[in-house]
Structure 1
Amino acid sequence: MDIKAYIESGILELYVAGVLSEKENKEVYELMLQHSEILQEVLDIESSIVKLTASVSQKTSGVDTFQAIKNQLGFNDNDTKVISIAQPKSNWLTYTGWAASIVLAAGLLWTLNKNNTLKSDIQVAETQQELLETQIENSKSSLEEANTLITVLRDDNITKIPLAGQGNFASTYAKVYWDKTSQRIFLDAQGLPEPPEGKVYQVWSLKLSPLTPTSLGTIDSFTTDANKIFEIENANESEAFGITLEPAGGSETPTMEQLYTLGVVSVS
């Protein structure tokens, strides 16, 4: 993914403005969790809005504020001001009314700016809190996964099967840790490249005589998973394990031309 191009597309400004659809908001939020650059850009945009909102009330003070409010009230510096000598009290009251209107409008403008600033501060705080809570949950999950993997690696009853690269994919590799008691495997797929768009890795349990493949499922989260270790259920009497590259959604039978890795379970 081209992070720079995504940031420059302007979608993050629309996200902060709250004009995206629910689906688009969800996509941006997920990308914020995956890419620190996108998260930082969103926080920078929100911070800029807060500063801009605060500066408006400062920059529109004094003469500028007076002129801006006069314009809003429909007054023009070019208007001819006719002052009747016969009615000085009435004119004084008229200007007093104008002044009161200007003061009231200035007060409303200041209140509006303060309210917008407060809303922006709240939005920034809520976003930061949500992301922090997500990061904490992710950290807890990662710690639990790490403890599980350590237990598996240290267990002598776990069967370890290296999966070597095959044919045109000789440089690839993987490893299976098979816990027969709990009927699950842990697949270390760090040695596999990122699958092309529209493709997915599929894991197979194999019986060798005769050759009978049983699908253990596709690795749909391969691209987003950082450590490339996947827990997969396996209740089969497996004699070998293989990994093929298949169209998204998987295949009923393995595409042998796309067999990346294969490993035979050693006989105890």
Structure 2
Amino acid sequence: MDIKAYIESGILELYVAGALSDEENKAIYELMQQHPEILQEVLEIEAAMVKLTAATSQQNNTHLFEAVKQHLGFNNASKVVVMDKKAKYNWLTYTGWAASVLLAAGLLWTLNQNHALKSDIQNAKNKESYLETQIELAKNSLTEANTLISVLRDDNIAEIPLAGQGSFASTYAKVYWDKDEQRIFLDAQGLPDPPEGKVYQVWSLKLDPLTPTSLGTIDSFTEDDNKIFEIENLNESEAFGITLEPAGGSASPTMDQLYTLGVVSAS
């Protein structure tokens, strides 16, 4: 075996750069055990790679450029590249280092692509979830609309207009009382949005003596576009009123904040 020709073939540089197959790596390892010259050459190539890697870690880009030029055998005074045996080793070493950098860049790109793919999948799931929610809301809205239509068409449903009171004369509302189901449907489209920290509270009233019973607060007034609210009513109501109260409601109506009032007509 011509050891010199084998060394100059460039295969040892590829071995150090990790560019050979497992079988080729194994063959070179066995030759290193048999021939000290090959082992020494591999050690020198590895030392050159370590030296070049250390040079590339410098913060000064000018120093980096000059170090690479030096390892590649460039002469600042001439455009001609002179490559002796050692320069050849350094060139192949640099090639292996550059291949490692490209491999790292490729891995980084792959990780970024995987991250982008996961992000796209998550966005698709979010959109799907959003659409499912919207479909469910549409179904609920349709059910509510059909329920309200059936209430409005039922002759047994009592309709009670609530007129604006005092300083709130321009406001209005309407109650549809389903006595059989012990519930009312409040159409509050004629009320303005309550101020921050305030809520509308609905009252069932007995008139003689005047006895108010709270039917609860309308906490979702601002968010509800239709302004129609279904409220349980277990009372023998003689009138209905709506007042503006602090958030959480009040034990008794604030009379100077009485927005609307309507009396149930005798049937």
- TM normalised by structure 2 equals 0.70
The corresponding residue for 1:13 is: none
The corresponding residue for 1:41 is: none
1:211-262, CA deviations, whole angstroms, 9 ceiling, x for partnerless residues? 0000000000000011000000001000000000000000000000000000
Equivalent residue runs for 1:86-165 within 5 Å: 86-165=85-164
Residue type of the partner of 2:101?
I
1:79 to 55, 66, 72: 66
| Two-structure CA RMSD over aligned residues (Å) | 1.7
Could you tell me the percent identity over the aligned residues?
Answer: 76
Where does the alignment leave 5 or more consecutive residues of structure 2 unmatched? Answer: 1-52, 74-82
1:82-139, CA deviations, whole angstroms, 9 ceiling, x for partnerless residues? 4483424532331221122122023113212211221221122122112111111110
Question: What secondary structure sits across from 2:65 in the alignment?
Answer: coil
Q: How many residues align?
A: 197
The corresponding residue for 1:248 is: 247
1:38-77, CA deviations, whole angstroms, 9 ceiling, x for partnerless residues? xxxxxxxxxxxxxxxxxxxxxxxxxxxxxxxx9xx63745
Partner Cα separation in structure 2 for residue 218 and residue 211 of structure 1: 20
Partner Cα separation in structure 1 for residue 66 and residue 226 of structure 2: 73
The corresponding residue for 2:168 is: 169
Where does the alignment leave 5 or more consecutive residues of structure 1 unmatched? Answer: 1-69
Larger radius of gyration: 2
Residue type of the partner of 1:78?
F
Question: What secondary structure sits across from 1:87 in the alignment?
Answer: helix
The corresponding residue for 1:25 is: none
The corresponding residue for 1:34 is: none
Cα deviation for residue 78 of structure 1 reads 2.9
1:155-195, CA deviations, whole angstroms, 9 ceiling, x for partnerless residues? 00000000000000000000000000010000000000000
The corresponding residue for 1:181 is: 180
Partner Cα separation in structure 1 for residue 213 and residue 220 of structure 2: 20
Partner Cα separation in structure 1 for residue 120 and residue 183 of structure 2: 48
Partner Cα separation in structure 1 for residue 100 and residue 237 of structure 2: 85
Question: What secondary structure sits across from 1:254 in the alignment?
Answer: coil
- Determine if the alignment matches structure 1 residue 218 to structure 2 residue 217: yes
Bigger mean CA deviation after superposition, 155-164 or 84-93: 84-93
